[in-house]
Amino acid sequence: MSVQYEKEVEYKFDFEEEEVLAMVIEACLDYVSCPYESTVSVTLVDSETIHQLNKEYREIDRPTDVLSFPMIDYATPGDFSFLEDEGAETDYFDPESGELLLGDIILSVDRILEQAEEYGHSVKREFAFLTAHSMFHLFGYDHMEEEERKEMERMQREVLESIGICR
């Protein structure tokens, strides 16, 4: 697994964010039994930047906590079997590393700090939660319907509990 990490904001967390990212991403990959070595791009930004991205890509004129840009169109969320089909290697895999290109995660440091305080848990927990949430989007899951929302919440909770990051 590779994590391409970029931090566009000046903020010092009280934990090693790259270690937490790797731990959460690996736990999510294991959770969905991803059979491939994978790569994910993660960028930390401020509220202004994520506001602009949200407006540009989602036509929503406000900041958000996380944006997910999946590289894969799944027929069924978390089902990687179609990647065995001929031609998939040129569409979804890095030609140099051979890793599956899952997509991009953009995290708002400002919203991580605000939401940790609002929900009464640690900044590390909020950081990990939003990373897990975004990973499930990269696997094709969504939360537009109530049942989808409950499923994503359950999966996120189980992943975080598996690595000892709880509320």
Residue 29 belongs to some domain of the structure: yes
Residue 167 belongs to some domain of the structure: no
Residue 95 belongs to some domain of the structure: yes
Task: Specify the pLDDT at position 90.
Answer: 74
Task: Specify the pLDDT at position 132.
Answer: 98
**Counted domains in the chain:** 1
Give 72's contacts (C-beta < 8 A, 6+ positions apart). Answer: 83, 92, 100, 101, 102, 103, 138, 140
Is the pTM above the cut of 0.85?
Answer: yes
| Residue range(s) defining the domain that contains residue 43 | 2-162
Residue 70 belongs to some domain of the structure: yes
CATH, residue 50:
3.40.390.30
Residue 140 belongs to some domain of the structure: yes
Residue 38 belongs to some domain of the structure: yes
Average pLDDT over residues 18-24: 97
Residue 20 belongs to some domain of the structure: yes
Average pLDDT over residues 62-80: 95
pLDDT band with cut points at 50, 70 and 90 for residue 129 = very high
Residue 27 belongs to some domain of the structure: yes
Instruction: Evaluate if residue 101 carries a pLDDT over 80.
Output: yes
Tally: H helices and E strands in the chain: 6, 4
What percent of the chain stands above pLDDT 70? Answer: 99
Average pLDDT value over all residues in the chain: 95
